[in-house]
Amino acid sequence: MRKSRTLVAVATAALLTLCLPHTASAANSAPAIEAFNAAFGKVTSFTYKLHSHEVQGSDVQDRVYDYSFMKPHFAKTLIESGDGRGSGGVWAGGDQVSGHQGGFLSGIHLKVDLHDHRAVSLRGYTIPQGLPQMIVATYADTKGTLKQMPGGKIDGAETALLDLKVADPASNGGVSEQRLWLSNATHFPLREIFYADGKVVLDQSFTDYNLNANLSQNDFPF
């Protein structure tokens, strides 16, 4: 009997040793993430507006972007209002952006690094980081504690709220908490807020979705 108990204890310890590292490294999961992934799998191209408020130190940036996306990796933005109005860029995968500035320089197109200061927002966010699928993926991939709860209504739409308490804010641009509201109808994001040291450093809303945009590669001149 004693030998049997010893074998069971050893087997149990071995099983825990195998399971614990896997659990710790596993991606965060939530029904809202699974619902978004299923919905995203059914669309091929879409457009939307991204209303963004960013804070970096004492600097503030408010912009409205017109976004277009086509699978597998084509994205285009145009700054409709705010700092840099009239500027735009196209990302076709990889580490470069083809873009132009607003105003009298709008006819000059350049290819620059994805993280070039002319191609990113105040807090350094790139064109692909503004895509719904990239945003939802951060809640699955960032280490921390993720919870889902009812999010109430946004513009009349019932939502699910994802709240992520980040394990290592220093590796996440100083952001310690991320909150994302997703529509219960379309499962696409409607609003997102980032907090750093208890202060809001990003507040963005997603409006005017067209999930059947019927775009082609000609809509993404690179």
Q: Encode pLDDT of 184-197 as tens digits.
A: 999 999 999 999 99
User: What digits encode the pLDDT tens for the residues 33-57?
Assistant: 999 999 999 999 999 999 999 999 9
Task: Collapse the DSSP code of 12 into the 3-class scheme (helix H, G, I; strand E, B; otherwise coil) and give the result.
Answer: helix
Segments making up each domain of the chain, as ranges: 28-69+124-219
Q: What is the pLDDT of residue 122?
A: 97
Determine the CATH number of domain 28-69+124-219. 2.50.20.10
The predicted model gives 65-78 an average pLDDT of 98
Q: What is the mean pLDDT of residues 101-124?
A: 81
- pTM, two decimals, is 0.86
pLDDT at 4: 42
What pLDDT is stored for residue 106 in this prediction?
54
